[in-house]
Amino acid sequence: MNERPIPFLVLMSMTIAVLASCAGSPRRAAPAGVYMGQPAPGLSPELFAPGVVSTPDAVELNGVFSPGFNEFFFTRTTVLPGGGEGISRMYRSVLGPDGTWTTPEHVQVWPDNATSLAVDMSYSPDGARLYFLGRHPHALSIEKPGFDIWVSERTDVGGWSLASPIPPPIWTEHIESYPAVSPDGGLLFSSNRPGGNGGGDLWLASPKADGAFDTPVNLGPPVNSEQWEGDACMSPDGSYIVFTSDRPGGPGNGDLLVSFRDETSGAWSEPRLLGHGINTVDLDYCPMVTPDGRYLFFSRRISDPKDGGWDRVVGGDVYWISTKVIHELRDADARPPRE
């Protein structure tokens, strides 16, 4: 979730090793008839589940399927009269035994029915944990809660527990946002912590055996730049990342780009703007690739004026498109130059 104007891989050898180990991870094939019963999109962005997920009376963002394709999370934010961000809550739809999906319902992850912000969800590879961006008081940030990464555990009855903040070295007094779990269980996120290249950078923390995370590593150039980078996700096989940036060259205040990992060196390619109508004059953000690698979900936020940010938001929805638009770019890069 882009909280502008507040700022939100060649990787170091440790990071390269992590990604190389997950590059061959098998993709989970989606059962027939899933995706909430929606007709599959092609090479043009389509609204996802209009009237159910994407509605005209609220701002919807994020779109995340569970690894087993039997649960779908998204965020719904109320729009205040005249623009302005309202209450942002996580909603969930579940695939029932009869093959139908439940009406999306709010999932409460805060004690005492608090209305604190909860957005930007990402599942652990086994589907047992849900990481997300939250803003709620906790032991390290009581008087003025910041934007921190939290986790909720799946309960024995299929629900979700109250959330707990992810401790250091993930947590700092700076902003940590948009967690996305890598194929090996690492944590990719954006932060304006010291040691970055610009207003906000992408960082990757390797998983530890006890379920915690190692010290995050900055992804570095060419993925990170002097501009703002955030809202990133990794493909199921670890071969590319999609992220949002406000670097020059795109049509909007934030655009979606892709960077491909070299299979031999582990280096990341110069980021490319996604085409096929994905990027617009509005903010295009919140990417997430489905567990089978077939579709890219992303969100579009509309503000009036266009650079008004959340203070002047008037609409927004969840879109999806075939990842063939990404593979086309990789294939084009791989073609030898013409004589």
Confidence of residue 334 (pLDDT cuts 50, 70, 90): low
Confidence of residue 336 (pLDDT cuts 50, 70, 90): low
Confidence of residue 86 (pLDDT cuts 50, 70, 90): confident
More reliable by pLDDT, 186 or 305:
186
Confidence of residue 311 (pLDDT cuts 50, 70, 90): confident
Q: Is the pLDDT of residue 246 over 70?
A: yes
Q: How far apart are CA 189 and CA 186, in angstroms?
A: 10
From the list 182, 75, 81, the residue with the least C-alpha distance to 135 is: 75
- Which amino acid appears at position 49 of this protein? A
| C-beta of residue 85 within 8 angstroms of C-beta of residue 116 | no
| C-beta of residue 105 within 8 angstroms of C-beta of residue 334 | no
Lowest mean pLDDT among 89-98, 166-175, 221-230, 303-312: 303-312
Q: How far apart are CA 311 and CA 304, in angstroms?
A: 9
What is residue 5's predicted lDDT score, i.e. its pLDDT?
A: 40
Token pair, residue 118, equals: 């909860």
From the list 222, 226, 229, 246, the residue with the least C-alpha distance to 191 is: 229
Token pair, residue 175, equals: 């902003």
Helix (H) or strand (E) holding 326: helix 324-334
What is residue 33's predicted lDDT score, i.e. its pLDDT?
A: 59
Q: How far apart are CA 132 and CA 148, in angstroms?
A: 8
More reliable by pLDDT, 84 or 208:
208
pLDDT per position as a tens digit, 152-196: 999 998 899 999 999 999 999 999 999 999 999 999 999 999 988
pLDDT over 70, % of the chain? 86
Confidence of residue 55 (pLDDT cuts 50, 70, 90): very high
Q: What is the mean pLDDT of residues 142-150?
A: 83
Q: Is the pLDDT of residue 115 over 60?
A: yes
CATH 2.120.10.30, domain 13-30+44-334, yes or no: yes
Token pair, residue 201, equals: 């950078």
What is residue 34's predicted lDDT score, i.e. its pLDDT?
A: 79
Which of 152-173 are b and which e, b meaning 16 or more Cβ less than 10 Å from the residue's Cβ? bebeeeeebeebebbeeebbbe
Beta strands in the chain (DSSP E): 46-47, 58-65, 71-79, 85-94, 105-106, 117-123, 129-135, 148-153, 164-165, 176-181, 187-191, 201-205, 217-218, 229-234, 240-245, 255-260, 272-273, 283-289, 295-303, 313-322
Three-state secondary structure call for residue 56? coil
From the list 49, 44, 24, the residue with the least C-alpha distance to 324 is: 44
From the list 329, 273, 183, 269, the residue with the least C-alpha distance to 9 is: 269
| C-beta of residue 48 within 8 angstroms of C-beta of residue 61 | no
* DSSP-assigned letter for residue 37: G
Helix (H) or strand (E) holding 17: helix 13-22
Token pair, residue 196, equals: 């970055």
Q: What is the mean pLDDT of residues 142-158?
A: 88
Is-cis flag, bond preceding 5, omega within 30?
yes
**Distance spanning both ends of the chain, measured CA to CA:** 44
More reliable by pLDDT, 196 or 110:
110
